[in-house]
Amino acid sequence: MKEKIFSSYTGALIAANVVAFVGVLVLMVSFGEARIVSWVALMPSMVLQGQNVWTFFTSMFMHAGFGHLFVNMISLMFIGGFVEKLIGKKRFLSLYFAGGLFAGLFFVLIALASGVDMNVYAVGASGAIFALGGLLAVLTPRLPVLVFFIIPMPMWAAMGFLMFGLWALSLGLGLPIGNTAHFGGLIVGLGYGFYLRKRFPRKTKMISRYFAR
């Protein structure tokens, strides 16, 4: 089982996230937390000044703590592994990075448009993971899943529940959750799902029916 996981792109991404997390912790000890965070986390005020634009990419591999990393990697293991088998390795990897990068861009643009604190950082793989979930919401909408491993829902409802449930939770409790980044990733996944449905109508219809069992 371990060999299968780590021979896949999903496994490689999980490994890269874990290595990056440990590496960032080590660098923080040597150079200080504030400096390292500014180098690898996405901050709207910085990128809008043309500084640290590489953080659109590096922020996808940085997490705010072990709990944040663990939740994202567990989600990636289950969702990513399924998507990779469903659409193939190349499409999976392209969607993952397109979703993650657009999630960061969407986060910056919404921050600019809304006039919120432009010095808030965004980190994590969840934007990319929401893109994968958005794809499944279109291609396998009736796939039965367990949200938080306990609540049974079809995939389309699960993604809506997670998106707006987390948004409501963050507003109600003041938690630092990157809701706009999640939404940006979801948009990419939904868009790509509808594109595949239009290009391969018979195949995607068969997939939808098969995973509705």
pTM across the whole model = 0.91
* Burial degree of 182 (CB within 10 A; 0-12, 13-18, 19+): buried
The catalytic residues are: 126, 182
In the CATH scheme, what architecture does the domain 2-210 have? Answer: Up-down Bundle (1.20)
What digits encode the pLDDT tens for the residues 17-70?
999 999 999 999 989 888 999 999 999 999 999 999 999 999 999 998 999 999
What digits encode the pLDDT tens for the residues 111-146?
888 877 788 889 999 999 999 999 999 999 999 888
Please report which confidence band the pLDDT of residue 2 belongs to, taking 50, 70 and 90 as the band edges. very low
DSSP 8-state assignment for residue 42 = B
| DSSP assignment string, 96-153 | HHHHHHHHHHHHHHHHHHHT--TT--B-SSHHHHHHHHHHHHHHSTT-EEEETTTEEE
What digits encode the pLDDT tens for the residues 136-189?
999 999 998 888 778 898 999 999 888 888 777 777 766 667 788 999 999 999
Q: Hey, which residues does 153 pair with through a beta bridge?
A: 145
Cα dihedral across residues 115, 121, 126, 132: positive or negative: positive
Q: What is the residue extent of each domain of the chain?
A: 2-210
What digits encode the pLDDT tens for the residues 81-102?
999 999 999 999 999 999 999 9
